[in-house]
């Protein structure tokens, strides 16, 4: 374990989440003093158990927990006190369509501003914001031009779900805050595409729910959706690189392995590589028109229908060149996710 970073405190918001707990593990491996926020302190032991899976033994637990809510000021000042960096990973996420979009948007935007304001007042050097590809490439229509960090999704795009809109609006609000009232606070943003890689516990992220439906056979035919993919371990690594690199201040970084995979290609990979665990995987493709008809009746289909025919030709060059980031490939990320689901008996 690296002791070079001993005494440097980092706050990770949302430490029980898929990305958050991997950030905790890498920070602890690198010797940082770590704080994390949980909405529900009953999940503290669950986080410690996940860290154990990641190789963090009890005597390496240089970590403290704070009960914080994105919509409430309580305990945030104590959580940020003495911190040099904040990784703001926490954000509401749901595949369901809320009755009121504000249920998703307000916590994302107001929570981000709350964290930035308190970090500024606490003298934090830099906040790294977990944004999303949703804030970058969902309004990009030119398939011949790669999507880069200079692109922005139009929050008024009628095809955006509440979750996608919340990510655009939260990141926009963050940059506006830094510009207008950030003081000396620095900001960097990480914009991942679909996050796979190993889960450290039984809680499933949105990408895992999709994988589960493929693996358990409940998805009888696979829609022709194209994904940009990244491994969660590489997302966490990119957060840590953006946290300390002098040139990362004021920058956004797209997080993707490179290239794309279609869902039928994902299903075929699982069928070929996972043996008995993939016996229920269908390799039939679903015609686009079926998805579009289903969108009239199904919230799930309505979420994915706008992605039909979208190539998402994005570039990870900035992260690779500026931060020397070296992500795993798409296949490794998908297989690591599926294998960890088998290990935690999450497929049945």
Closest of 146, 126, 124 to residue 136, by C-alpha: 146
Spatial CB neighbours of 116, under 8 Å, sequence gap ≥ 6: 88, 127, 174, 177, 178, 182, 185, 187
CA 160, 166, 169 angle in degrees (round to 5)?
Answer: 105
44 is catalytic: no
**Do residues 162 and 104 make contact, with C-beta atoms less than 8 angstroms apart?**
yes
| Helix 18-29 vs helix 232-244: crossing angle, to nearest 10 | 60
| H-helix or E-strand spanning residue 38 | strand 33-38
* β-strands 261-262, 226-227 pairing: antiparallel
Write the DSSP assignment of 279-336 as a string of letters: TT---PEEPHHHHHHHTTT-HHHHHHGGGTT----B--HHHHHHH---PPPHHHHHHH
Task: Count the Cβ atoms, other than its own, within 10 Å of residue 160.
Answer: 20
**Do residues 346 and 204 make contact, with C-beta atoms less than 8 angstroms apart?**
yes
| H-helix or E-strand spanning residue 338 | helix 330-343
Of the residues 6, 167, 179, 220, only one is catalytic, namely: 167
The label of the residue with tokens 């139009």 reads 154
3-state SS assignment for residue 231: strand
Residues catalogued as catalytic: 167
């Amino acid at each position: 374990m690296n002791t070079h970073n001993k005494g440097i405190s980092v706050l990770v918001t949302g430490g029980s989440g898929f990305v958050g707990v991997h950030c905790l593990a890498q920070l602890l491996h690198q010797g940082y003093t770590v704080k994390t926020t949980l909405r529900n302190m009953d999940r503290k032991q669950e986080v410690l158990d996940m860290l154990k899976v990641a190789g963090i033994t009890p005597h390496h637990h240089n970590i403290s927990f704070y009960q914080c809510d994105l919509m409430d000021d309580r305990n945030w000042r104590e959580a940020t006190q003495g911190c040099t960096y904040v990784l703001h990973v926490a954000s509401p996420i749901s595949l369901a369509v809320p009755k009121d979009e504000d249920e998703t948007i307000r916590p994302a935007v107001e929570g981000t501003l709350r964290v930035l304001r308190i970090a500024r007042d606490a003298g934090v050097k830099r906040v790294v914001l977990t944004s999303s590809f949703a804030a970058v490439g969902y309004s990009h229509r030119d398939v011949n031009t790669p999507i880069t960090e200079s692109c922005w999704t139009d929050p008024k795009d009628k095809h955006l779900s509440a979750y996608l809109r919340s990510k655009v609006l939260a990141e926009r609000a963050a940059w506006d805050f830094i510009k207008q009232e950030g003081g000396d606070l620095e900001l960097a943003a990480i914009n991942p595409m679909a996050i796979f890689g190993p889960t450290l516990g039984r809680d499933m992220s949105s990408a895992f729910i999709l994988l589960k439906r493929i693996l358990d056979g409940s998805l009888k035919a696979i829609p022709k959706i194209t994904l940009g993919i990244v491994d969660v371990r590489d997302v966490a690594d990119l957060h840590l690189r953006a946290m300390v690199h002098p040139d990362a201040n004021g920058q956004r970084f797209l997080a993707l392995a490179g290239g794309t995979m279609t869902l039928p290609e994902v299903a075929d990979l699982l069928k070929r590589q996972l043996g008995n665990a993939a016996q229920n995987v269908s390799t039939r493709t679903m015609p686009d028109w079926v998805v579009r008809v289903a969108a009239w009746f199904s919230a799930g289909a309505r979420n994915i229908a706008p992605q039909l025919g979208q190539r998402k030709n994005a570039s990870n060059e900035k992260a690779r060149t500026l931060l020397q980031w070296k992500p795993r490939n798409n296949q490794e990320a998908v297989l690591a996710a599926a294998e960890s689901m088998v290990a935690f008996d999450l497929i049945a």
